[in-house]
Amino acid sequence: LQAFSGNNAEKAVKTVKDPVPSIDEEIKIDGLVFPQFSREVEYFHFLIENRRTKQCNVLSTEYQDCFGNAKVHFCLPIESKSDQNLAKAGLQQAIEQMFVMGAVSIFATVPVDDTKSNEVFASSSFRNSGRMNRQLLMPGGPLDVVLWTRKLI
């Protein structure tokens, strides 16, 4: 299982450093609208790939150097046990990269009913910090999410 393409993790990381965004800016992903994470944000997208089975996923991170925190999100659904193993391996590699960059904490929000993704964060030493009601706006209505957090130092 290779978490990143090639031996050099930097090849799998695309970095974009945005200027200070406007408060009114929004991010659109799969038809969903998210408010900007604020202040100088660096975006990293980690390609997680199993070379043998050709399974892959993308782990998207937003890192704020001014606060030392990062938000992580899997871009593709985690549907099977092998997807979970791949996601967990990639998440561990991304955590190591974010720590080297200076992140002191990482967090994620996952829909309550997404048990496979919640299991990935639970088994990766993230702490279930709470349930936030009606926080994720979806076409069928708002969903409840679990807030996962992990301190790195």
What is the chain's mean pLDDT, rounded? 78
Q: Are strands 42-49 and 69-74 parallel, antiparallel or unpaired?
A: unpaired
pTM surpassing 0.95?
no
pLDDT digits (tens, 9 = 90+) for 7-30: 333 434 433 344 444 444 555 555
pLDDT in tens, 79-97: 888 889 999 999 999 999 9
pLDDT at 70: 93
- Do residues 72 and 46 lie in contact, with contact meaning Cβ atoms separated by under 8 Å? no
Handedness of CA 28, 91, 126, 81 (dihedral sign): positive
CA proximity to 67, closest of 116, 16, 103, 21: 103
Would you call 21 helix, strand, or coil by DSSP?
Answer: coil
**The one-letter amino acid at 135:** Q
Backbone angles phi, psi at 91, to 5 degrees: -65, -40
Per-residue DSSP letter, 66: T
pLDDT value at 51 more than 50: yes
